[in-house]
Structure 1
Amino acid sequence: MSRTISGNDLRDRMLARMRAVATSAPEDAFKVLASAGNRDLLGLIGREAPQSISALAELAGRAQPNVSRSLSALVGAGLVLLRQDGRSSIPELTDLGREKAAELGLLDLPTRATRPADDTIAEPSFLTVRFDGAPGDGAHGAVLAHLPRRDGQGLATVSLETDIEAWAGGLVDHWWRMLYRRDAPHSLGTFAAASGPVPIALKSHGPRIERIVRGPITMARDAAFLPLEELERDLIAQVLEPVAARLRAGRRIDRPMQAKLARLLETRAFSAEHAFARTAGALGISPYDLGDARADAIRRLIESMPDEDVRLDFASAVLDEELGAASEWICAELRDHGSVNTMRRLPELAGVLSAVRLPASARPWERGTSMAKALRRTLKLGPDASLINLEHLAERFGSDYFAASSLDAPAALRGYQGVSDAGPIVIVADEGPERTAFTLARAIGDYLVFESRIACVSDQYTDRQAVGRAFAAEFLAPAEGVVRMVEEGIPVQKVARHYGASSKMVRNQYGNNADRFADA
């Protein structure tokens, strides 16, 4: 019968290995210090005097097993010794270690401290923390959310009174899923304001994160979005690191939250591990403690979809449980329809239209709509011109004959764009003439705007999918023509039949654009 190994057992075994190394033949200190990671630890021990191995791991931003390997080398080279203090093992520099650290200038670097408040910052980050009591009381207090008011009258600050250590630990537990699974809101909790409760959630749209705020506090639509990278840095700097520093100040140095943060920071430090974690999060699972089969599936997905924006949209659409079925559907459809669904003209058109692509900083709908207008001009299609039907649409882009899939696309997938030597291949599920044409147009728009070799079309509401939707609506049923026909008294259903589009699309085009043509 197998026996579960406790954390203390693992620590005792690790220390035993270090002592064994220390009593064996010493390693060449020069060779050991050739490693930047070993030098970093040597300097941290000399400057910060950490009171345990876990405290050293937190200071280094590395996982404890990784730190332990470096410590073993430093101990073996006679540069560091481990002094026992109860259950804690305190790393200290030997005389040789201090001499080498001084020679390398490692003791002259500034000590690490909690980031001071910056009086020059006009407004605080989205989330900050406030601690109550003394450091020895633990990390209790409130998480504060600072929200731009819709009326432009500064910030509204709301609070969540909680055990901040536990709340921060939960934030790290859900980190990858929260920030990288697209179109999947994640609750931060119900905050308190003088005017009532304010539930707050985060939802990833891709490169942007939406703050979903309900209750008496309202934000302007544009103000609700933050760049993903900015939010990620702020959560670490303004929430997680202050909590870890608070625990250190109260001599709480072996807490789960600290170990989780060290693991998170180490994952972010290595590009391959970071990509793996982001992909797992998009699939809705934790990147840690996966079995071999699931880990291999993620690695294959990364290899097959190196474009991260494409990969994370795809992973968020299929999730872990549908990944295999989605891959099988794509392979089968590319094999069965690749020869007839090849859009041979797309690369040529993409080259012609490359100069009119809006930058990534533009709003998603603007990028899609702008490209659709440019394409219609290139094809000499006036605002009243119709593409007639699905087959004519495909012919415009070089397909000899277009066949939709007779099989339902798995999960939230609706289509997929691949590539062959002959050109881009588009496969879409058959959902009737109007919806199938709309899906095909979305795939075409994605290629023209992003020019990716592969991409998916899905039901997800992400920035990338928004580009495709806006392109398809404007390309199939241009707003100028729709508004003129509707205001001439032509019924919406008849306008929709003229363009081969759905009545819903025509109503949306009219509702979103009528004001722009009011004075035309």
Structure 2
Amino acid sequence: MRFSADWQEDAPNAAPEEAATVADFTLRIADRNVTEHRLGRRLVDEITIPLYPIAESIAYGWWAIFGGRDRAFSISATCSGLQLPDISVAFDGALLRVSASPGASLHDPRRTTDYIVSAEEMLPRNEAERALDGLVNTVLERLGDRGVSETNASVRWRRVVDSRSDPEEASFCEAAGALGRDPYRIDDADADLIEKAAEHFSGEGLLEFLAGTDRARLRSTLDWIARTEARPDAASALPGLWLPRIAAMFRDMPQPARAWQLGYPRARAFRAQLGLTSADRTRSAGALARRLGSSPRFASATADPKAMSGIRALRSDGTDAQVHIHLRRTARDEAALFAFARACGDVVCFPEKGRSVVNDLQAAYRQAAGRAFAAEFLAPIEEIRSMEADGYDRLAIADEFGVSPEVIDRQIENASRIDEACAAH
């Protein structure tokens, strides 16, 4: 993501902060110029707009951008009055997806700027912060040079910069962003909810819990967690997932930027550690729990749909590095098996001690890694290929592995990704 700004002097805008920041602006995403547009029969590379609204959007949206999961932040939608391409950003916990498309310019006759380029780029967090920092600071420096120093954007940006310099405050601000709240305008009730959640979760586990939980049910969800963890240890302990052993097993395997690059190879490695051959099947959550050394008293946790808010399983690590998985009770066997395998994958992919949930977030790194792990662990792509070659259809293959047909479809769709991720190991 790169931009250029050729400042224009004496622009006729009424607002001083906009007049000072009018520029011929070019934005490149994945090395494609997304500001390219048609003007009559000509193609024009740059657009002439005030950049202040974009800087203000980023400054006010910073914690929503880096705290939110599964929620894109539209820069264009927050820049009222500017005819921009549809520019949005979304952070999954590891990578920021920056995308742009022509958007409404193709369909709205009131718009005079006809954009023609779509592009998408994935940036590691440090690069993403540097790119967004650079745009905001460029605009603020221009304002300072023009004698327009105290603006809403500059005041807000100072607060953001101060918060980022304090790890504890930055964590709270990101948690507020995950909850969909402005950390500088949050009320006491929401701040208390974040603090209560932080008593159970930390780091990415906290953000994915907050982002994936209905705020109205958050307190009752925390109560459900407390009740569930009070069950006898035998109902949830899995000695086969002992954390020090898991951590040692994968010490030399790095954590890549893409979640599927983490989940797929670790699933294969863990199958090998458990001595599973290609002919072995794990058709139920109970069978997988027994393979992981569970007690005969291992049992699913009572479901409370009004409190659980999309939670499919809870991982809770004991003080002795014992792993406990509390699986939501459901009558759908294939759903229970896949959720349980996702929770096991969370332990294998993230062996640092803590709590986490398996929930319905899609574009969240930890959740995505667990789904990739579960799919390859339960239904290895090589075995799917072998069964397809033998004439089995997808429904029969799904029945054979005890998963839904959608899991088989996704495995086939992602076969090249699986091969790529596992070839590196």
Q: TM-score range by the shorter chain?
A: 0.7 to 0.9
| Letter in structure 2 aligned against 1:458 | N
The yes-or-no answer on 1:131 pairing with 2:7 is yes
Aligned to 2:300: 403
Aligned to 2:107: none
Q: State the structure with more CA Rg.
A: 1
| Letter in structure 1 aligned against 2:359 | S
Structure 1 residue aligned with 2:142, among 226, 243, 246?
A: 246
Structure 1 regions of 5+ residues with no counterpart? 1-124, 149-153, 191-195
Contact 1:353-1:448 at 8 Å conserved across structures: no
Contact 2:209-2:357 at 8 Å conserved across structures: yes
Aligned to 1:287, what secondary structure does the other structure show?
coil
1:368-399 Cα deviation digits (max 9, x unpaired): 11111111112221112111322111111122
| Letter in structure 2 aligned against 1:445 | G
Using the alignment, how far apart are the partners of 1:515 and 1:373 within structure 2? 14
Contact 2:247-2:351 at 8 Å conserved across structures: no
Would the alpha carbon gap of residues 260 and 224 (structure 1) be closer, same or farther in structure 2, given more than 3 Å must change? same
How far is the alpha carbon of 1:264 from its aligned partner? Answer: 1.4
Q: How does 1:18-37 map to 2 (within 5 A)?
A: none
Structure 2 regions of 5+ residues with no counterpart? 36-45, 78-82, 103-115, 420-425
How far is the alpha carbon of 1:277 from its aligned partner? Answer: 0.9
Would the alpha carbon gap of residues 411 and 388 (structure 1) be closer, same or farther in structure 2, given more than 3 Å must change? closer
Would the alpha carbon gap of residues 160 and 285 (structure 1) be closer, same or farther in structure 2, given more than 3 Å must change? farther
TM-score (structure 2 length as normaliser): 0.81
Would the alpha carbon gap of residues 243 and 334 (structure 1) be closer, same or farther in structure 2, given more than 3 Å must change? same
| Letter in structure 1 aligned against 2:273 | T
1:348-375 Cα deviation digits (max 9, x unpaired): 651562246x312253212111111111
Aligned to 2:195: 299
The yes-or-no answer on 1:230 pairing with 2:117 is no
Aligned to 1:462: 364
Aligned to 1:342, what secondary structure does the other structure show?
coil
Structure 2 residue aligned with 1:415, among 299, 313, 335?
A: 313
Contact 1:186-1:203 at 8 Å conserved across structures: yes
RMSD: 2.7
The yes-or-no answer on 1:512 pairing with 2:414 is yes
The yes-or-no answer on 1:482 pairing with 2:384 is yes
| Letter in structure 2 aligned against 1:361 | P
The yes-or-no answer on 1:177 pairing with 2:73 is no
Aligned to 1:65: none
Using the alignment, how far apart are the partners of 1:184 and 1:509 within structure 2? 25
Using the alignment, how far apart are the partners of 2:127 and 2:94 within structure 1? 10
Contact 1:415-1:439 at 8 Å conserved across structures: yes
Would the alpha carbon gap of residues 262 and 480 (structure 1) be closer, same or farther in structure 2, given more than 3 Å must change? same
Would the alpha carbon gap of residues 488 and 449 (structure 1) be closer, same or farther in structure 2, given more than 3 Å must change? same
How far is the alpha carbon of 1:161 from its aligned partner? Answer: 4.5
Contact 2:29-2:99 at 8 Å conserved across structures: no
Q: How many residues align?
A: 378
1:247-281 Cα deviation digits (max 9, x unpaired): 22222233222211111111112222111111111
Contact 2:68-2:211 at 8 Å conserved across structures: yes
Q: Which structure has the higher relative contact order (CA within 8 Å, separation 6+)? A: 2
How far is the alpha carbon of 1:230 from its aligned partner? Answer: 1.8
Using the alignment, how far apart are the partners of 1:144 and 1:303 within structure 2? 45
Would the alpha carbon gap of residues 131 and 162 (structure 1) be closer, same or farther in structure 2, given more than 3 Å must change? same
1:382-425 Cα deviation digits (max 9, x unpaired): 11211132211111112222324332263343221002356211
How far is the alpha carbon of 1:197 from its aligned partner? Answer: 7.5
The yes-or-no answer on 1:450 pairing with 2:327 is no
Would the alpha carbon gap of residues 218 and 289 (structure 1) be closer, same or farther in structure 2, given more than 3 Å must change? closer
Using the alignment, how far apart are the partners of 2:160 and 2:121 within structure 1? 26
Identity %: 24
